[in-house]
Amino acid sequence: MARTALWKGIAETLAAEIAQGHFPTGARLPTEAELSVRFGVNRHTVRHALADLAGRGLVHARRGAGVFVLGRPTDYPLGRRVRFHQAMESGGRLPSKALTRCETRPSDAKEAAALGLVAGDPVLVVEGVSSADGQPLAVFRSVFPAGRLPGLAAALEGESSITRGLAAVGVADYTRASTRLSARAANAMVALALQIPEDAPVLRSTSVNIDAGGVPVEYGITWFAGERVTLTVTPESA
């Protein structure tokens, strides 16, 4: 391995150990001197690796105290019924959502096809950021058929839960009809929202949710911070 890449190997090793729980949330990492001895490199190389981990949102340096683990990767089940708040709470995390957009506009061809509409039919577009324990985990865009769900925009005013918003307009239950996963590099806007470096790895989930009658009610795209979330396909999703 070239010396210019040593810091990358150290960063990946520490990131993997954090993911495996060797360093739990709130734990202090070994000192720069200790890591220098462990990996057989100078402190500058170690400092570069730690800066990379900080840029990913995995650790935080406290002046005079050391470098501490910010949070463990969050397990996120991809089942037929996925509810963000419920999934986070079951894992002992404190969930929150911040909506950044809620507006009605004409649908494009892809949205219309997913929702069983004609291109140009009105859709309600809702965007925001999902967090756990105050750390951003995902950026989402949910597109709803405005004609089928009148009053949804009003129901979401001051409401961070899309599930409760849908329930308020008569959708008591909904399930995933399809999900497609792909790997991406974060663009500038996604990186800013997730507080990660531009080009950091993200997992993109594209899904269609249907109501109890099999009618599409949501076309959603979510960008998950790759270092912070472990997506798990649960048996009930098969």
pLDDT tens column, 38-54:
999 999 999 999 998 88
Question: 183-187, 220-224, 229-233: which has the minimum mean pLDDT?
Answer: 229-233
Domain boundaries 3-69, corresponding CATH code: 1.10.10.10
Model pLDDT for residues 88-134, shown as the tens digit of each residue: 777 777 888 999 999 999 999 999 999 999 999 999 999 999 988 77
Residue 2 predicted with pLDDT over 80: no
The residue ranges of every structural domain in the chain are: 3-69, 74-237
Question: What mean pLDDT, rounded, does the chain reach?
Answer: 88
pLDDT at 237: 44
pLDDT at 99: 93
- Looking at domain 74-237, its CATH superfamily turns out to be Chorismate lyase-like (3.40.1410.10)
Distances (CA, A) of 47 to 12, 153, 198, 208: 14, 48, 20, 44
